[in-house]
Amino acid sequence: MNCLWCFESIIQKHTWSTIFTLSAMKGLCPVCRESLMILHTNRCTRCSRESVSEVCSDCLVWEQQGQFLDWNVSVFKYEGAVRDMLYKWKYRGDYELGYAFEREYSKGFAKVRKRAGKNAVIVPVPLSEERLSERGFNQAEMLAGFLKVKKSVVLKRRHSEKQSKKSRSERLASENPFQMQESIQTPVILVDDIYTTGSTLHQAAAVLKQNGAPFVAGYTLIRS
């Protein structure tokens, strides 16, 4: 087994589970795992951003504009190795590299599920058809695959320019690209790779709430 990031070989520990299942989890070597920065200090309770106050200034603005996303939890800080890995995984299209995040992402889900309630379903944020065929896979769907909970694909996305190419104000002003394919009556946990300004998640949450979802939270990999 080799590290997904530095390709150094990893010496596997033998435990009962690895012996019985015969398949070990793909992942990182201890050195690379150390280099991922996990968020755990003081955070905004609504968007997981590092902040001293309980609710950060961004979230207060969202509150004024009409808030649809109830809260978001992220796992990693957008810094150092995480930044490089996200780039290679998402934009270079290195699908396997996503497994590097599996351990921490599925570990962090327990708390999120507790907070959102047992009957919540997972909705991965979709890509537009064009973007999906360009990229070959949807990173949010891969993340959703790590979580052993019921998934539901109810959202559709129109093609628009990449969020990462837009400025903050452009993102906030953009038209809602999401549509619902059917209505939903259960609480929802939206899954995506990165929370930057939060506009993608808020737009998706708005559509979900207009179509019956009583409660929408976000569980994202990275908070930048």
Partner 1 sequence: MKDYEMVIGSPDAKALTILARSFAGKRLLRSEIPLPESLFQKLVDDHLFVPFPSIKKHLFSHQCQRCYNRKRSYFGEMPCARCKERHVYCRSCIAMGRIGLCEPLYEWAGPEPEWPLREGLLTWQGRLTDLQLEAAEKAVLAVNTEQTELLLWAVCGAGKTEMLYPCVASALENGKRVCLASPRADVIRELLPRFKEAFAAADIEALYGGSPDKQAKSQLILATTHQLLRFHKAFDVLIIDEVDAFPYHGDPLLPLAAIRARKDFCTVLYLTATPRPEHKKRIQRKNLPHHFIPCRFHGHPLPVPKNILCASLKKHIHKSLLPPRLFIWIEQRCHDRQLLLFVPTIQLAEQMKTVLAPILLEKNLIGSFSEFAVVHSKDPDREEKVQAFRCKDIQFLICTTILERGVTFPSVDVVVLDAGHEVFDEAALVQIAGRAGRSPNDPDGHVLFFHDGRTEAMNGAIQLIKAMNKRAGFLP
Interacting residues toward partner 1 by CB under 8 A: 1-2, 7, 9, 88, 92-97, 132-133, 135-138
Minimum gap (Å) between residue 134 Cβ and partner 1: 9
Residue placing its CB nearer to partner 1 in the complex, 5 or 178: 5
Q: For residue 164, give the nearest of 118, 185, 195 by alpha carbon.
A: 195
The 3-state DSSP class for residue 217 equals strand
Residue placing its CB nearer to partner 1 in the complex, 23 or 64: 23
DSSP designation for 181 = S
Q: For residue 205, give the nearest of 112, 111, 71 by alpha carbon.
A: 71
Residue placing its CB nearer to partner 1 in the complex, 66 or 136: 136
Minimum gap (Å) between residue 137 Cβ and partner 1: 6
d(CA 215, CA 148): 20
Q: Residues 166, 205, 54, 81: is their CA dihedral positive or negative?
A: negative
Q: For residue 105, give the nearest of 167, 16, 195, 192 by alpha carbon.
A: 192
Minimum gap (Å) between residue 97 Cβ and partner 1: 8
Minimum gap (Å) between residue 169 Cβ and partner 1: 28
